[in-house]
Structure 1
């Protein structure tokens, strides 16, 4: 008796999902014997001289015993042979995120790609998609069962795909990772100058960076008629992972006192930022601040200048406000001469970085201009503490 052309065979390797045929034949016997295939003792089919059983192996077939028996009237006991099937399984991928699929910016995240199979993998591939509706993806890593982010950022947001391949086949699984962070304007600005005219709508458009999306509300007004805020994804492709939005609303001024400061609160589940909209009467007073985007190195000096062009003979009070990431840091007094003022920062360090707002106040009017100061930093010692002959030093860049 031969099984698949071999007389001596105990185990037979097959691949999951690939059509396979078990053949059983005998070379002698009179009269011709009747052959039968059984699986785990259960009848499958009969044949004469030769019997074949064709099937597509799956995971449940692994370890099954297949027995071929031959008998004729001349024998009291059938001739039998049993083989055990070993099914090589394609991988089944299990993809997990620790601690979660939604994390806060700056947290650690580990993606782990486990798989089940009874044979070794040949290849592991990690891919990333930003647009889940597209077929295109970015290859980010190969050969590792996990990837880690020590401090995850908003740019790491996306759909991650783990693809495992062995000699039988390939399996893959997708997981969506979102990164939450508070709203911020793209240039860290908190003040926006908008020109307006009596009886005409002034449109305000502010680009914001955040996840998840935000709610927007008016916090303080100068009395003009306020529009409703709308929030729209900012970009050509709208995806699950949008973190750039455009905020839009309107102000309708009808009186002189309607020109001035309007405050807006933008918030999501991670935090909030207060923005100032300065509605300026067109062709009236205008505030200029220069340099536009100054840069200084630590220990160097930088001068900021601000002037106002006003057709009216008005006495102005002037102050400088310092903000960083939308948070008020301090109020400063500059040197003012009629319609100009200057602010001297003698020794730049990292604490001086941020937005500087020049504020002109007169009666019911408040006009504002701003500039953004960047500091090229070095290590600065903030504090140290001696403890049992060991010195602990805290430093920041």
Structure 2
């Protein structure tokens, strides 16, 4: 039960008492009622205030609060008192300017909430390597607080609010099981307090995800007799090396060439949001340039985490295409490739992934553009798209350039398995997810499993095969395993979630037959799993109805067929077994207007 404590006079040092109880014995979670008519005399900030602030609820009712110390440490320990002041003023009482803040050259009388950096704390920069895990802490030691949300932004541009499944609510820690480049940026933990006058307290941390450099685009520019080749990229970490080559010959240090690197603001997409960040541009200036039929220049960019090579082919004209493109499963996308060259004609785009050619796609030719529209992106559309132009009549000279399309969508299951080894049962699911998922959650009879001696969970990277338009491609996926010691009969469920949806896989161990069965259900929203049973019942009813109709049709045909057969045989010509037959080749074409957003797959 809360204990009310009252004090008259002043609270100045640790020897003060409240109702014959020492101040240092204030019980946690008690209510401390300080009521005086003469004001509370505060000598700096002492353990008494700290004890009240961190462990009790305080009702401060005074005519004035006096600070008599010459140098007051105006830090976050004083924050609560500034807000509790309400309309009461602070007063100073010292012949040598008492109540003067030692750290910001203000008196306590002049303090306002924004003078305290504990309202907006900025933590040290954190980093993680691509594909590894990281935890972002949200610690606030001054007031009792509650988590409102975690948000992700970059250079002031809001990207998304983090799903609570990524957050340990007992510590407010944000957990990333797998870092990737899209996770770079600023993360803000927003806290509320039990005090209505306090605004939300924001604690920010910047996350840098280390990985190989990423090229954004390239371009060429004439500068008098010189030609400048440029590659725009960004790299985390910032310590990278650049080497330009003509064929296999290094151009670094060659007096005919000048190489420089400059900072530049680059635009990129993170989770389908346009943001800007610090990037770089490397320029190769070719002095007294003389164009030859075809020169191939390579820009090699490396950092401690990898190497990337950007190729620039100097032909009769330059080919323009964005280096990286993004879409999600709810949108369509247009890939536009430009070539300003008289007589050039486009040929089909090539879609490939992980070195495998997947399909050939016919785009739309509009003036100098070759446009490929992909309606309703899905995971099968991920990969590299190569725009190609024929530059001579015979079609032997081809100019081409590629863009990488990254498609975000709900996770999907690739395979699953169940095995038994002695008293241990192993459940395993292999899945693919882009963007990276939260750590899969396992349930037994709809209750989260308690990891320990009974349940052991592991989630790891794995090379998986996914089917893209009838072609098997190796991709980076995940395997989540649950080991159950002395597994009981019942329902085991694995829930895999990312920011676009979720997929659930169910393992059922039946007691009667002593065997396990499993099935998968997918949803595009984390809140829609309760509809899956209704959907299964509806589908089963539909299938049963179709079977009944088919049986009726078969019976009807059998009754009618003898009569029909007699009439048919009387008019059927006799087949000559020795005669030959021609094979007729049939093809289909797509007829559409020039402004239609579509593509045709060329088989």
Relative to the length of structure 2, the TM-score reads: 0.34
Determine which structure has more spread, i.e. the larger CA radius of gyration.
1
Which protein has greater RCO, CA pairs closer than 8 Å, 6+ apart? Answer: 1
Relative to the length of structure 1, the TM-score reads: 0.47
| Structure with the larger helix share | 2
